[in-house]
Amino acid sequence: MTGARWLDDREQCAWRAYLAMNARLTARLHRRMQDDSGLSLADFEVLVCLTDQPDARVRIVELARFLQWEKSRLSHHLTRMQRRGLVDREGCPEDARGSFVVLTAAGRRAIERAAPRHVAAVRELFLDRITGEQLDTLREIAERVLPGLEVE
């Protein structure tokens, strides 16, 4: 046998459509965020994680786990964000190896300016174009698929 069974038309068509939507949607959202807030989507994700915390601080490990980024990527990225004044690092008393990332005032201003525009873009380009049932199905799909994707 030449290997696994190929995709049939229905599968192929859906899979390609999904890939295309993904690529274009991400690209558009990224460009828009960049243009009107000066942040990348990656910056934004980091800032969102920080604002999700009650005290706007997270352990770097935890952030890496949540974002599923390689730790070196995160470290480099934080260095750049720190250079731009969006976040800061602080030592961790409980574990001298560790560090916290902290949201700065400028970081908070940046995400507070960016978030509403981003939400508007997500609505305009995506949510407003599909029905509530479709949205629910999408969530169901994601919830079914996600557990199979965890790393270890």
Partner DNA sequence: GGGTGGTAGATGAAATCTCAACCACTTGGA
Partner DNA sequence: TCCAAGTGGTTGAGATTTCATCTACCACCC
Given the rule CB under 8 A, which residues bind its own copies? 2-7, 10-11, 13-15, 17-18, 20-28, 68, 116-117, 119-120, 122-127, 129-130, 132, 134-146, 148-150
CA dist., res. 36 & res. 20, Å (int): 24
Q: Contacting DNA (CB under 7 A), which of 12, 18, 21, 98?
A: 98
Work out which of 28, 48, 53, 75 binds DNA, going by CB under 7 A: 75
Closest of 139, 116, 100 to residue 44, by C-alpha? 116
Amino acid at 8: D
Region of residue 56 (left: phi > 0; alpha: psi -120 to 50; beta: else): left
Q: Does residue 69 interact with DNA by CB under 7 A? A: yes
Cα→Cα distances 55→6, 20, 50, 60, Å: 50, 38, 8, 14
Q: Using the rule CB under 7 A, is 53 a contact of DNA?
A: no
- Binding partner of 32, given DNA, its own copies, none, CB within 5-8 angstroms per partner class: none
Which residues of this chain interact with DNA, rule CB under 7 A? 31, 34, 40, 42, 59-61, 64, 69-80, 89, 92, 95-100
